[in-house]
Amino acid sequence: MASDRAFAQYDIEKKSLLVAYVLWFFLGYVGAHRFYLGKPLSGFIMLAFSAAVLLLTLVSFGVLGFLWALVGLWWLIDALLIPGIAAGRNSRIADRLLGRR
């Protein structure tokens, strides 16, 4: 028969489903629940995969975000340049049609 000491040690080491689900809910994407449940290899694989996806996402959003910021800046500057661009174009059209230089 198992001793009282073994039962006590079991109570100390057993894993809580509540804790496992809380870890899964808040930190599941990095494998925290797997580390807690004694699955360090699959926890590390999840952590590495999540880190790679996060890095790629940040890089792509960073590059795309920077490019969109440039496009947005160009768009705003164009709002100020349009009157001059239109005046220049209209002047060239008038010169061509009216035979000016």
Q: What is the pLDDT of residues 8-56, one digit of tens each?
A: 888 889 999 999 999 999 999 899 999 999 999 999 999 999 999 888 8
**Number of compact structural domains in the chain:** 1
Domain that holds residue 44: 4-97
d(CA 73, CA 69): 6
Q: What is the pLDDT of residues 64-91, one digit of tens each?
A: 788 888 888 988 999 898 999 999 999 9
pTM as predicted: 0.61
For residues 36 and 19, is the Cβ–Cβ distance under 8 A? Answer: yes
Residue 31 has a pLDDT of: 93
